[in-house]
Amino acid sequence: MAFETILYEKREGVAFLTLNRPQALNARNRQMRREMVAALQDARADEGVRVLILTGAGDRAFSVGRDLKEAAQESGSLVEGRRARHQENDTLVLATLDKPTIAAIHGYALGGGCELALACDIRVASEDAQLGLPEVSRGMIPGSGGTQRLPRLVGMGRALELILTGEPVDAREAYRIGLVNRVVPRSELLPTAEKIARTIASRAPVALRYAKEAVVKGVDLPLEEGLRLEGDLSWLLRTTEDLREGARAFVEKRPPNWKGR
């Protein structure tokens, strides 16, 4: 598939997905959402992809969310609109990707752009980043997971303040409240994200998948059920060739040669 609103490439186990409408501050129109879904589905199906990095093109924004100019021009029934959003739910596809994801955030990450970052596993922000969910100032509420993912990340009180005021926070405040994992100078943003990705990509693929599943699914379970999930996944890993390879490599003092099975 030829992409017009995103850039998508794969290098040495890492997929790079770049929102590429810098003239519109990487606002997500319908075409971009469709193209993102296609790229994410490709990353899911490609066993050579171990990690995905999501970022935005240009100097000013990661993404300012939904393209409101397009939204204002759209017509059709409520049912048709809901069906289209479901078919183009890039945020949900990103959040359910079974491989680790990293958001490299610079400039504005607002509305649906912030929600894309929330859907990633790890968030690295440059010092100029501004993150927020301003939907209430436009007569809306966050509709791509923001009301659910933000409280789980920063706590209910902080999430409600951000959502109800609609005011953004800068990178340092985002780091203080746990909204982002790291803050770095702009020149170090992508190198830092890629360094994290390369470290992750060097680990056992099946273990990465099960570790993410244990954390993401377990956080919403009672502790006893979460521990049962962890135990089941740990037991399954004992049957993998990668576990045996990891043990051999440790004994032989060499890098492991993962097979992903």
Q: Which residues are catalytic?
A: 115, 135
CB 245: neighbour CB atoms within 10 A?
A: 15
Alpha carbon 210 to its chain centroid, in Å, reads 17
Q: Which helix (H) or strand (E) holds 207?
A: helix 205-218
Contact present, 182 and 192 (Cβ < 8 Å): yes
CA distances for 152 relative to 158, 167, 178, 195, 239, angstroms: 10, 19, 10, 26, 33
Q: Which of 154, 172, 171 is nearest to 163 (CA)?
A: 154
Alpha carbon 4 to its chain centroid, in Å, reads 21
Rounded-to-integer distance, Cα 173 and Cα 127, Å:
11
